[in-house]
């Protein structure tokens, strides 16, 4: 299956539409399993714990670098193959750290847990589905003694898995084994009060108990487009954008959706909020600041036709919003006015979510470079190409 069928071109710019299709075609082919022998990209963000960072790569390696200088202290962990030796174990989701373990999912359908100090004590779980097309595109979420994983089991099918955090044995899955799967899942769930919220490519948002994988709503919430962005929870509502170009709020109790505003292209990455406003990237190249107090857009940056879609999730730092473009520019905006404060180049295209740790912004670009930018000095603290780490 190719998601190009979902594409709704922006009639304001046929050139932009054509470039976007060319841009995302290799991404979509890689994620839908039409070429399972190699991954051309990796979108893993950077996870940070104490003085160590952890990053996944397109060739299935987990790499540890020091926070202060990007120094590799141990050899990379190499992801094992599945039982059927199918697919390619690229790591798309940002690794998750909990206690002394690190958890992540792979392109060929493995959930992996290793010790975060030496990458030993390997534990794995393999999701069900078609060996040629199954995979995990999001992060593994830790909630108490459970792991929650959204997975694609086939070209048009997906399930949510709940596993035991320590043994990685299955607790339950949604839908159950004997039930029809939901749409393919490319996202990372969010958890609140024992309930997982996530969207699928068939336009549905699901609310599922992580205790027994039962549906928490009467029925899933139907939206107007495919969903890949992770939702954000604020107060009593869930917020996310879809491929129908609308940004929605969904009532957590009832699942009733409401359209808040329309952009000019797909919503791919997740949004961030300071509690008063949402800051939402779009593949039209703009950042939209949505004011919750009056239900209006308070600013759009740069508010002009773009050919550089934004796929990387931004971060907030004090009164600043930091995002990265598909041309490899990191941009810092004032959250009140939307004005550009400064920017700098951070390598090739950026499609992995940005990570903030104290005053450092970590960026993983498609040329496999990790850049650490100091927000105080506005200078590059260090950069390391992951291909050089052995």
Residue with the larger pLDDT of the pair 365 and 303: 365
Cα three-residue angle 338-343-348, rounded to 5 degrees: 120
Least confident of 10-14, 246-250, 380-384: 10-14
Q: Quote the CA–CA distance of 230 and 267 in Å, as a whole number.
A: 10
| For residue 260, pLDDT beyond 60 | yes
pLDDT in tens, 315-352: 999 999 999 999 999 999 999 999 999 999 998 899 99
Contact 385, 367 (CB under 8 A): yes
Q: What is the pLDDT of residue 40?
A: 54
Q: Quote the CA–CA distance of 323 and 342 in Å, as a whole number.
A: 11
- Which of 273, 285, 196, 287 minimizes the C-alpha distance to 232? 273
Instruction: Quote the DSSP letter at residue 254.
Output: T
Contact 272, 316 (CB under 8 A): yes
Half-sphere exposure of 390 (CA within 13 A, CB side): 1
CA dihedral 291, 297, 298, 301 (to 10 degrees): 120
Q: What is the pLDDT of residue 311?
A: 94
Q: What is the pLDDT of residue 85?
A: 61
Q: Quote the CA–CA distance of 308 and 319 in Å, as a whole number.
A: 25
Q: Quote the CA–CA distance of 253 and 119 in Å, as a whole number.
A: 41
pLDDT in tens, 226-254: 999 999 999 999 999 999 999 999 999 99
- Which of 79, 81, 101 minimizes the C-alpha distance to 91? 79
Structure tokens given for 135: 């995979």
| For residue 111, pLDDT beyond 70 | yes
- Which of 285, 362, 379 minimizes the C-alpha distance to 322? 362
Contact 142, 96 (CB under 8 A): yes
Q: Quote the CA–CA distance of 198 and 242 in Å, as a whole number.
A: 12
- Averaged over 367-381, what is the pLDDT? 96
In whole angstroms, how large is the CA radius of gyration of the chain?
20
| For residue 16, pLDDT beyond 90 | no
Burial of 294 (0-12, 13-18, 19+ CB in 10 A): exposed
Q: Quote the CA–CA distance of 350 and 140 in Å, as a whole number.
A: 21
3-state secondary structure 116-133: CCCCCCCEEEECCCCCCC
Percent pLDDT > 70 in the chain is: 87
Q: Which residues pair with 319 in a beta bridge?
A: none
- Averaged over 261-283, what is the pLDDT? 96
């Amino acid at each position: 299956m190719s998601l190009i069928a979902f594409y709704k071109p922006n009639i304001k710019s046929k050139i932009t539409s054509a470039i976007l299709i060319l841009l995302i075609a290799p991404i979509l082919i890689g994620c839908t399993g039409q070429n399972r022998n190699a991954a051309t990209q990796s979108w893993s963000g950077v996870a940070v714990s104490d003085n160590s960072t952890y990053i996944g790569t397109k060739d299935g390696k987990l790499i540890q670098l020091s926070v202060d200088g990007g120094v590799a202290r141990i050899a990379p962990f190499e992801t094992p193959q599945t039982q059927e030796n199918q697919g390619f174990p690229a790591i798309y989701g940002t690794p998750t750290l909990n206690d002394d373990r690190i958890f992540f999912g792979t392109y060929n359908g493995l959930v992996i847990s290793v010790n975060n100090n030496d990458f030993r004590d390997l534990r794995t779980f393999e999701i069900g589905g078609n060996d040629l097309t199954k995979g995990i595109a999001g992060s593994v979420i830790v909630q108490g003694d459970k792991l929650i994983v959204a997975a694609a089991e086939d070209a048009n099918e997906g399930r949510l898995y709940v596993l035991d955090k320590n043994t990685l044995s299955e607790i339950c899955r949604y839908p159950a084994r004997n039930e029809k799967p939901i749409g393919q899942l490319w996202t990372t769930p969010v958890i609140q009060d024992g309930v997982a919220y996530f969207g699928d490519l068939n336009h549905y948002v699901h609310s599922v108990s992580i205790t027994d994988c039962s549906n928490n709503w009467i029925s899933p919430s139907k939206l107007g487009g495919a969903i890949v962005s992770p939702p954000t929870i604020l107060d009593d509502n869930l917020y996310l954008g879809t491929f129908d170009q609308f940004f929605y709020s969904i009532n957590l109790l009832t699942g009733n959706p409401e359209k808040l505003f329309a952009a000019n292209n797909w919503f791919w990455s997740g949004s961030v909020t300071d509690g008063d406003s949402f800051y939402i990237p779009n593949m039209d190249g703009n950042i939209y600041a949505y004011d919750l107090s009056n239900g209006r857009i308070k600013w759009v940056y740069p508010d002009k036709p773009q050919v550089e879609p934004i796929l990387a999730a931004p971060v907030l730092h004090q009164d600043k919003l930091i995002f990265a473009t598909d041309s490899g520019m990191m941009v810092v905006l004032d959250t009140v006015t939307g004005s550009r404060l400064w920017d700098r180049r951070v390598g090739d295209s950026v499609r992995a979510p940005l990570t903030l740790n104290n005053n450092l912004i970590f960026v993983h670009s498609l040329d496999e470079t990790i850049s650490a930018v100091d927000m105080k000095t506005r200078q590059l603290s260090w950069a390391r190409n992951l291909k050089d780490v052995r």
